[in-house]
Amino acid sequence: MKIIPKEMKRRARIALTGNYFPAVSLTVSLTLLTTALTLLIQQSGLYLSADPLNQVLYWVLYLIALLFGALLEAGLLRFLYSLCKGKPLRERGILFSAFRNQADTYILTYAFRYLVSLVWFVPSLYFYMQLPVVIDLTEIPADLPYLLGMSLLLAAVALIPAVFFALPYCLAVYVLLDDPNRPARDALRQSRRLTRGQRGRIFRLWLGFLPLCLLGIGSFGIGFLWIRPYFHTAMGEVYLELRGRDDSSDVGQPK
């Protein structure tokens, strides 16, 4: 089987036809919940504290918020994947379905994917953490341009290996949607097997969404409420194509 990016996007648009409202509604709910949690952590003042323990607590809470958002995203993906299967799910609280169905497996899967990606940004974070939280425009630190420049430069350099090493595991969540009882290690291994020989085409599919992402940024993020479900639906189509299109799966119905 060969992934054709344009075909995957065409199938995604067909799957979303007539289902844009629930897809966008779930995306809005996910965005509001994760944003609210992030703002609460920011307002705690832990990051501004001079106490190292408070700063450690800040990052622990931030990690928890990240994994909370990941579980919500798994619920969104479950709905979008059902559209790819032609069997739209209409159940209450679908956004929280991962919390009720092997949440630890989803957490381990997402945590591994985050680690594989974020580890490359450690040098950039090192310089970022040295940036002053509050800047007095009358007394701009002399090293500010250096710290900011190094942070951005190293982040740009990290993008290539981060994508390269994370891409093989991009279908792991869809594997779990088909079989929630599968261990996280097996889901990651299955994703790696499915993407073998197709990673260049999947990467081209990702690049095809870059113009839309730029438009999303230009719309102050509003466009991502449509782009996000479109992208995930396209990835669901990729998974179905590589796995083989059949209806033997129940789209991860809770056991």
Cβ contacts of 24 within 8 Å, gap of 6 or more: 225, 226, 229
| CA–CA gap between residue 212 and residue 208 (Å, rounded) | 8
pLDDT attached to residue 58: 85
Cβ contacts of 215 within 8 Å, gap of 6 or more: 223, 227
The residue assigned the tokens 């909370």 is: 68
pLDDT tens digits for 174-223?
999 999 899 999 999 999 999 999 999 999 999 999 999 999 999 988 99
- Predicted TM-score (pTM) of the model is 0.86
pLDDT attached to residue 128: 81
Summarize the confidence of residues 24-30 as an average pLDDT: 96
